[in-house]
Amino acid sequence: MGRGKYAAQEALDAQAQPSAMCPVACVLGPRGQHLHEIAVAQSLVTDEINKRLNPDGKALFTTLAQLPPKFRSIVWVKRGKYVIVDLEKPLTDKIGGEITMVLLAAQVKQLKQADKWPTQYANVWSEISGQASSSQPHDQHADNSHASSDDDSELVGDGNPNRRAGFHDMASDSGSSDEDSD
């Protein structure tokens, strides 16, 4: 088997084991160059990591995480999904860690059934809205759909999570209005 097949098996078949150095984090959005902004709950990480990445002492802090090259063509990280991030050693002063696993819906469900799912992410979008002004009603709806563990709706996507709600293409509207006026 080639390297890609092993990486695909590792990404799909691995058991999620969050720890204090590798906590579960919520993806807030892509930032380019295989970097993703993530939100991490303060109570899930060690004091050393809190001092380094969360000097303000917020309950949820944000940092950048990098997707390693072996997973770049195998898994896609979308806004609102959950990942396991290695925060033990920072890659640079701005990049706080590396994504070690993208949690699929089945893995999230297993963690919830085993009572290993962090309850701090129940209202992540409402807490982040105080930090960032890009909070949208769609984000809050996505949070509510992930709240129930018995609901299988998270196995079926409800739209493109990388497209913000309320997105309106102005270029297509201006083109159609010009045609109407002719």
Consecutive 10-residue averages of pLDDT for the chain (182 residues): 68 80 93 94 89 87 92 87 91 91 90 88 69 45 45 50 62 54 52
Q: What is the pLDDT of residue 23?
A: 94
Rounded to the nearest 10 degrees, how much is the dihedral formed by the CA atoms of 75, 120, 130, 165? 40
Q: What is the pLDDT of residue 123?
A: 75
Asked if 108 and 81 touch (Cβ cutoff 8 Å), the reply is: no
- Please, what's the b/e burial string for 122-160 (b: 16 or more CB within 10 A of its CB; e: otherwise)? eebbebbeeeeeebeebbeebbeebeeeeeeebeeeeee
Domain 3-181, what architecture? Beta Barrel (2.40)
Q: What is the pLDDT of residue 168?
A: 57
Q: What is the pLDDT of residue 148?
A: 46
Residue boundaries of the structural domains of the chain: 3-181
Asked if 165 and 146 touch (Cβ cutoff 8 Å), the reply is: no
Q: What is the pLDDT of residue 98?
A: 94
Q: What is the pLDDT of residue 97?
A: 94
What are the structure tokens assigned to 11, written together? 């990404």
Q: What is the pLDDT of residue 59?
A: 87
Residues in the chain: 182
Q: Which run of H or E residues covers position 145? A: helix 137-147
Rounded Cα–Cα distance for residues 174 and 146 (Å): 37
